[in-house]
Structure 1
């Protein structure tokens, strides 16, 4: 007899779930393409990381290749280039967090202060456009500006009586140029999420602050920034997940034999020593190492965010 109430309860739950699905069926239909995309192109390919533990040979196939355990990881960690790659990748990632990450926040705050809608929309369009320019074009523009053979910047330096600087072959200028390119290309596009967060701030808070005599700076510090703090924290956590992803295309296009000591990163190393030479297992091992580091950083930063009272990602 005791099983009957439990069965009835399960049946009631199933009927409730069924009615909920029927009620929201069109929402589920709309969500299905996105779910299929992530399933087919994000989750199914995860099985491919197994070749990091194999000597993968295309003619033997995925399952027929020999299992070698951590052989490729040991080889990578013992590679003389490992610490140089780690240093270069870490420094570029750190510069991205310190110099690039605040730029979209500052731009969004400045755009939010503009009261003339036409000018604001025109300015937004102008700073969004570089996002749609390919890295090939961006690097081409950098070459036109900074080359010693007729480059605009060097022509100005020469006109001012200085000696031309070989920016493109210099180890000292490689990282600043990389960060400046990222800021110019992606800084404006990154404002979208922050502007959306700012649009949700209650206007009555600003009105109350004005009545109390708060200046624009005080309103910014005590109302605007606290309102988007959770968005900043979440985006920072997500940014740390791709901490070691320096951007292959941009770095690869900027690399040359003279700046390789400061410019070679994990992504370019994988391409030149893994993909081009057909060492698929080795390149997968390097990629898996980067992913594990990213996972650790996301978990640690999410834990710290919750410790400080923020929502975090999960």
Structure 2
């Protein structure tokens, strides 16, 4: 992925140093809702779709760990990727006659707090609709590469784009609607709605990738394969098998490996968010 030399986002909140939680530009950023933390063995994202009482705002706790050169490089990469999403989604929303209000992305190292619950390296990246922020420990990229076999900078960009896509859903009112629907459902049916939300986010990540290529020419040979491999490695069925479990479709919250790849590819091929209506799809 070609990213060096482009602007970084001002919407980065860097909590990786002692006394952090300061806004750091260019360092690299529902009503009723609660978050269930899912470890990387059981799912990559923290699912922002389970209904409960809204959490109490807590002051962020910054890590006191020293930043390595790898930490700094990862922060710069995330900042540029976030800036790219801001430009792409800003333009897409403008074509729809809407204004895009981008999320803040919180970089942390070790642990931090969010209104949606505690965050740590084990939770994986997640989007919190309560404060409209994406939370990311960049050490997750090493987990993705070394433990899950999904290396490459575009695999990391796909992860960021997927979480930003949840913010896009929030901006469009989709998360609010699906949470209201899930509140009236049993667990298996509610999980099915979660799958459609997550697959739509995969599709929107593909839309971002297509438009980023058109706007920045950022894709290099092998980048799409990296993203598709990442989508495959974090499918519910693959993760459950990796954890020594028999895949149980009723428990899926993100979609199978095939589904995640298929919807990412659909967004990539169309470049159009209108192609990402997983809720109207008869077949996922």
TM-score by length of 1: 0.23
Q: Which has the higher strand share?
A: 2
Structure possessing the higher relative contact order (Cα contacts under 8 Å, 6 or more residues apart): 1
Q: Which has the higher helix share?
A: 1
